[in-house]
Structure formats: structure tokens, C-alpha cells
Amino acid sequence: MAAKKRRGDSTIIAKPGAGRDKITATQILSAAQVRAAKKGGGRAGDSSVIMTSRIRRSGLSISVKFALAISTAIAIFMALFGVVVLNNVKGSLNEEIDAAGILAARVLATHELFTWDEFHGAFTGTSYARWEQEIATGDRKVPRDALSDDEWSRVQERRESNRELLGRLIESDGRILDAVIFNVDRTRIIRVASGRPKLDFAGSRVYEKSGVDVEYGTFNTPGGEAVAARSFVAPIHGQHGDLQGKATVVLSEASIQQELAKVRMQVLVLALVFIALGVGVSFIMGTQITSPISQLTRDVEVIAKGHLDHRPRVTTKDEIGVLAKTIDAMGRSLEEAQGAQFEHEKQKHQLQIALEIQSNLFPEKLPSLETCEVEAHYHPGPEVGGDYYDAFLLPDGRLAVMVASASGTGIPAAMVTTMARSFTAAVAEREDSGPAILKSVNRLLSPDLRRGMYVTAVLLIVDPKTGKVEISNAGHNAVIHYKAESKAVEPVHADGIALGFDKGPVFDRSLMPKEVQLEPGDRVVLCTPGVYSVQNHEGVELGEQNFFRLCAREGGKSSSAFVNLIANTLEKYAEAGAIESDITFVTVKRLV
């Protein structure tokens, strides 16, 4: 429903919020700047009040985070590298010690078993009928007195050679703890390298490798110390391939642990060195990488403080450079937006002035006569236009009613209509006819109008006693005459050109007034072109004929009811459409 404002007897009808700007983000920003300027002493619109304090960084910097990430990656890599190296070294050491043990066991197993015993097998082919079986099983040795001196000498040489073999075997590899020659089922010791009565080794896990049994376990040294060791058992075969005994070599695993400890320490040292180098290099790289970001941050802070003409100094071609260019484009856009904002504020100020000027054009109170009713309606368009109406009494008591519309919008149109109104009010004090008033106004107004500016106007001089109406039209649309008797309307066209087109002669000759007679119940309606241009939601204009029919339908009502009904009808017609210009109309009805 339209909101009404009464100016005396004049009714002005307007939609809520009509003629006002929509609130935009730019206006909100402007209002915030104005409030900040009032608090800080800055001027409104000054962008320096946008940001007054620097945003401080909290937490670790990007370079530190980058260094930590690189250092963590290096630490993980070195840990994996260390595990791989240790496993490889351990595997190599195991292979090495296995190879040494297998070789030593096989060396011992190359000699036939009888060569290790004191009297068994004095020489090949020796046979003692009565002891042969026991000698073969090892239950009896060949007695000394059964051998000749030459045979005994060869036995001694063989025994000495075997002792030297055991000695060399232990001396050549310090890892060998002991070497033992056993019989087939390892129940009897034939020779022991350490000279101990038994092999003090306890095994737990056995596997076969290259024909040699390998066993992990613990060896008790002569000093009573238990050390990790590994035994290697190789079979001893006779010249005919028969199994005669077993050669056992025990190797210490301490060397493996020592080597692993050395490698572990080396890997740890290398890891620490690489981590330290990684931290240093990553800090340097992080600083180089984040330096453009830091510079860009400083540039953004400068821009955020309102220096929109500041340009980022980062010139890299990577993603940071792209970001810098984006921020530069944003700064330029903000600078343009700020200029547009200032221009908007300027236009808004001009609009406010124009609204104030226009509001002062309308009469505060319409004349009140016993024989006539005068009512008016004004609805502002989206922009300040040049419409105005006026009604006043002449010195002789006649009623003067004028409706005018200036070309253009804004302050220029408001100023022109102000001038026209002022000239009309001044001239009407001394002129007694409508044509004379308009001719004088045109002579005063024309010199001050620039090319393309003009004012269309229609002026009625009504005699309230007789109902006689003089119509003078300066390029305006026709006056509508409603006849109560026929309940019909008739447009009254009076010739004339607009005010301001000519400074005198042509305008004076073109002005051809007309007279109409108002009978009781008759009325005249004056309107501006904006009434006819009202559009509905389909973009169809109301037009003259529809407005004429509307006036004919409602013409018999009182003037206040007539104005309200016309205004409401126009509002409903344009409810989903557009009102592109001011809507102004005035009506005068003769009562008696």
C-alpha cells in the first residue's frame, strides 16, 4: 500500500523507499570509513583508515616449517638407510664367517681319520689279523712294539703335521675358538686344538650349508666367559668314500658384533652430519623460497593500509609471481573502486541536493476554494527528474495551476525547474493571462539554458466564479477535460513550443491558448509524460488512451478520492514492472 504524506491539502503518494538508492557494499564500506574518520580524525573516504595495525604472525615461520620438514625427511631417509646398511653388513659378515668356518672345517676334513690317531693306520695296507676288527672300529690302537722304527717315524711325522695344521688354522683366523676331530657319531674326541678334554659348546639352531652343518650357540672359554659362537661340522670320508669321522670348527661371533657396532656408529655419525647439513641447506633454501612471500606480505600490508597505488615488488615467474600479479590487479581494481566510490558519494551528495531542491518546488498548501477542489499527486522516479506542479491564486482571485517537466535528470533538471517556478511566481504578480505569463517566463529563462535544455509546461487560469478555464500549453501534453454530463473525457490541445527553445519571437507566435468551460461536476486533469510511460511486468506502457479511460471512469468522484484511485491504479499496474520517470498530475474540479 502506498505511503501518504500530506502537504496542506496536497496529497503526495509514493511507494516506500521509492527514489532512494539501494544499499550496496560500497555504501557500507563508505559508512564504515566515515565512522573511522570521525573517530581517528581522518576525512571520510580516506582509505588510510581501513587498516591501522599490522597483523602479527603467530607460530613457526614458513622457512622453519620447511627446514623441519626437510630435516624430518632426511632423518627418516637416514634411518631407513642405516637399517638397510646394517642388514647388508650383517648379512655380509654372516656370509663371511660362514665361508671361513666352512673352509676351515673342510680343510680339517680332508685328512682321513686314521691320520689323526696316534697308532691307527700306521701305513696303508697294514693288517693285523687278530686286531684288525678292533682297530677298524677304533676300539684298539696299534701297539708301539708292533711297528718298526721306520713305521713309527712316519706316524710321528703324521702326528706332527696334524698338530701344525691345527695350530696354523687357529693362528690364521683369530675368530676360531677351537677345532676338534670326532669319530663318526661324535662320541669320542680324536684331537682337540685347545688341548681341552672336551668341546665346551652348546648349540641351539642348526642348518646345513654347502654340505657343512652350521650351528649357532654359546662357547665357554677357558677363562669361564660365555661368548656367542658358531660351530661348523664337516664329514671326514675315507679313500673309499666311507664316513670315518667329523671335523668341527668353532668360530666366535664377537667380530660380527664389533663390526656391526662400528657400522652402526658410522651410520649414526653420517645421519647426524646429513641432518645438520639438511637443516642448514633447508634453512637457506627456505629463506630464499619464502623471501618473496615475506615481501609480498609487506606489500599486501601497505595496500591494506589504504595505499592502493602501491605495487607488489615480487617479479618471480612462479606461483608467487602469479599471486603478486593477482594482488596487483586486485589493488588496481580497489583503486578504481575507491574512485568509483568517491564518485558515487559525489553523485549521492548531488542527488541529495537535487531532492532537496525538488522538494521545495511543490507548494506546501494548495489553494482552498468554495467552488473548486484542487488535488495533486507526485511519485518520484528512480532518478531525480524535472517534474513539478504549482497552484496559487492570482491578485484578482483567479486560480493559476501549472504542471511542468524539464529535460534531463539530476541537479541540472532540478535547477531549471526551480528557475521556471521562481520566474512564474514573480511574473504572475503583474501579468493577467496565461500566455503573457509564459512569454515572460520564456524571455527570462531562455538566456540561462544551455543547448538541449528546455521545459515543457501547461498553465491553467481558472475563474472560480464562472468556471471558465484558459489553457496555455508550452510544448506539454494535452489537458484532459472530464464532462460530468456525458461522463466522458476530451483532450484539449493548445499549441505552443517548449520554454527555452527560442528567446522570444518564435515562442510568442507559437503560443495559441484555448478556453474550456467547466460545468458543475466537470474537472480538468494536468499530467506529465511519466504517467503515460508507466510499464507493467510485460513492458507494456499504460499509454494516453488507457489513462483517458481511467479518468473517465473515476472522474465523477471527489478530487481526493479521484487522486487516490488514480495513484493506486498506476501503482498496481506497475507493481511488477518499472516506473522509469516521475509521475505528476493535478486535477481541478468545479463543485458549483
Q: Which position has the grid cell 539530476?
A: 410
Mean pLDDT of 560-586: 87
Contact 379, 585 (CB under 8 A): no
Structure-model confidence comparison of residues 226 and 129, the more confident one:
226
Reply yes or no on whether the pLDDT at 145 is more than 70: no
Residue 168 to residue 107: CA distance in whole angstroms = 11
Residues of the chain with CATH 3.30.450.20: 64-260
Q: How confident is the model at residue 73 (pLDDT cuts 50, 70, 90)?
A: confident
The predicted-structure confidence for 181-233, as pLDDT tens digits, reads as follows 888 887 777 767 776 777 888 888 788 888 899 998 998 887 788 888 899 99
Contact 531, 585 (CB under 8 A): yes
The predicted-structure confidence for 341-388, as pLDDT tens digits, reads as follows 788 787 777 667 766 766 666 888 999 999 999 999 998 877 777 888
Residue 5 to residue 197: CA distance in whole angstroms = 131
Reply yes or no on whether the pLDDT at 558 is more than 50: yes
* Per-residue confidence (pLDDT) for residue 526, from 0 to 100: 97
Cell numbers standing for residue 246: 667329523
* Per-residue confidence (pLDDT) for residue 543, from 0 to 100: 93
Reply yes or no on whether the pLDDT at 37 is more than 80: no
For the structural domain made of 64-260, what CATH number should be given? 3.30.450.20
Contact 371, 464 (CB under 8 A): yes
* Per-residue confidence (pLDDT) for residue 400, from 0 to 100: 96
Spatial CB neighbours of 420, under 8 Å, sequence gap ≥ 6: 388, 404, 406, 441, 445, 455, 457, 499
The predicted-structure confidence for 90-127, as pLDDT tens digits, reads as follows 788 888 888 888 888 888 887 766 666 655 544 444 55
Question: 3-state DSSP: the chain helix, strand, coil percent, rounded to 5?
Answer: 45, 20, 35
Strands 387-393 and 399-406 turn out to be antiparallel
Mean pLDDT of 131-154: 63
**Any idea which architecture 361-590 has in CATH?**
4-Layer Sandwich (3.60)
* Per-residue confidence (pLDDT) for residue 569, from 0 to 100: 92
Which of 449, 441, 426, 445 lies closest to 472 in space, CA to CA?
441
| Model pTM above 0.85 | no
The predicted-structure confidence for 241-292, as pLDDT tens digits, reads as follows 788 788 898 888 887 777 778 888 888 888 888 878 877 887 777 777 777 7
Residues of the chain with CATH 3.60.40.10: 361-590
* Per-residue confidence (pLDDT) for residue 294, from 0 to 100: 76
The residues pairing with 480 across neighbouring beta strands, listed in sequence order, are: 491, 525
* Per-residue confidence (pLDDT) for residue 485, from 0 to 100: 94
